[in-house]
Structure 1
Amino acid sequence: MTQQRNVVGQDRHAGHPRRFVFVLLDNFTLLSFASALESLRIANRMAGTQVYEWRLIGEGGGERSCSAGTTFHLDGDLDELQRDDTVLVCGGIEVQKATTRKVLSWLRREARKGLVIGGLCTAGYTLAKAGLLDGKKATIHWENADSFTEEFDEVNLTKSVFVIDGNRITTAGGTSSIDLMLKLIANDLGEDMANAVADQLIYSSIRTDQDTQRLSVPTRIGVRHPKLSQVIQMMESNIEEPISPSILARDVGMSTRQLERLFRRYLNRSPKRYYMELRLQKARNLLMQTDMSVINVALACGFASPSHFSKCYRAHYNTTPYRERGAQAARLSI
Structure 2
Amino acid sequence: MAGDKLPRSVSQTRVELPPDLTASAPTKPSHYVFVPLEGFTMMCLASAVDALRIANRMSGADLYSWEMVGEEGGTVRCSAGITFVMDRDLSEVGRDDTVLVVGGVNVAQASNKRIVSWLRREARRGITVGGLCTASYTLAIAGLLDGKRATIHWENHDSFAEDFPDINLTKSVFTVDGKRVTTAGGTAEVDLMLHIIARDHGEDLASLVADQMIYSSIRTDQDTQRLSIPTRIGVRHPRLSQVIREMEQNIEEPVSPSLLAADVGMSTRQLERLFRRYLNRSPKRYYMELRLGKARNLLMQTDMSIINVALACGFTSPSHFSKCYRAQYGTTPYRERGAKATPTE
Which residue matches 2:312? 300
**How many Å separate the matches in 2 of 1:101 and 1:284?**
28
Distance 1:60 1:288 in 2: 30
Contact 1:15 1:51 in 2 (8 A): no
Q: Does the aligned pair in 1 maintain the 2:26–2:63 contact within 8 Å? A: no
Aligned partner letter, 2:26: A
The answer to whether structure 1 residue 227 and structure 2 residue 239 are counterparts is yes
- Greater than 2 Å deviation, 4+ residue runs: none
CA distance in 2: counterparts of 1:58 and 1:223, whole angstroms = 46
Q: Which has the higher helix share?
A: 1
Q: How far does residue 252 in structure 1 lie from its aligned partner after superposition?
A: 0.8
Cα displacement string for residues 60-109 of structure 1 (whole angstroms, at most 9, x for unaligned residues): 22111111111101112211111111011101122112111111111111
The one-character-per-residue Cα deviations of 1:187-213 (angstroms, maximum 9, x if unpaired) are 111111111111110111111111111
Q: Distance in 2 between matches of 1:62 and 1:292?
A: 36
Q: Distance in 2 between matches of 1:96 and 1:235?
A: 30
What is the DSSP-based 3-state SS (H/G/I as helix, E as strand, rest coil) of the residue aligned with 2:308?
helix
Q: How do 1:35-54 and structure 2 match up within 5 A?
A: 35-54=47-66
Which of 71, 75, 85 is the matching residue for 1:59? Answer: 71
Correspondent of 1:23 among 25, 35, 41: 35
Q: Give the match's secondary structure for 1:328.
A: coil
Q: Where does structure 2 lack aligned partners over 5 or more consecutive residues?
A: 1-24
Question: Pairwise mapping of residues 153-302 of structure 1 onto structure 2 (< 5 A)?
Answer: 153-302=165-314
Q: Is the 8 A contact 2:154 2:225 kept in 1?
A: yes
Whole-angstrom CA distance in 2 between matches of 1:51 and 1:264: 56
Give 1:14 deviation, angstroms: 3.1
> Are 1:129 and 2:141 an aligned pair?
yes
Paired-residue identity, %: 71
Q: Structure 1 residue 90 and structure 2 residue 118: aligned?
A: no
What letter corresponds to residue 251 of structure 2 in structure 1? Answer: I
In the superposition, the TM-score normalised over structure 1's length comes to: 0.93
Rounded Cα–Cα distance in structure 2 between residues aligned with 1:211 and 1:263:
28
Q: Report the aligned-residue RMSD.
A: 1.3
1:137 positional shift: 0.7
Residue type matched to 1:220 in 2? R
Residue 333 of structure 2: aligned partner: 321
Number of residues of Structure 1 aligned to a counterpart in Structure 2: 319
Report the Cα distance in structure 2 between the residues aligned to 1:192 and 1:51, rounded to whole angstroms.
Answer: 15
**What corresponds to 1:8 in structure 2?**
none
Compute the displacement of 1:118 (Å). 0.6
8 Å contact from structure 1 (residues 96, 289) kept in 2: no
1:68 aligned residue (80, 86, 109): 80
Q: Distance in 2 between matches of 1:103 and 1:156?
A: 23
Kept in 2, the 8 Å contact 1:287–1:321? The answer is yes
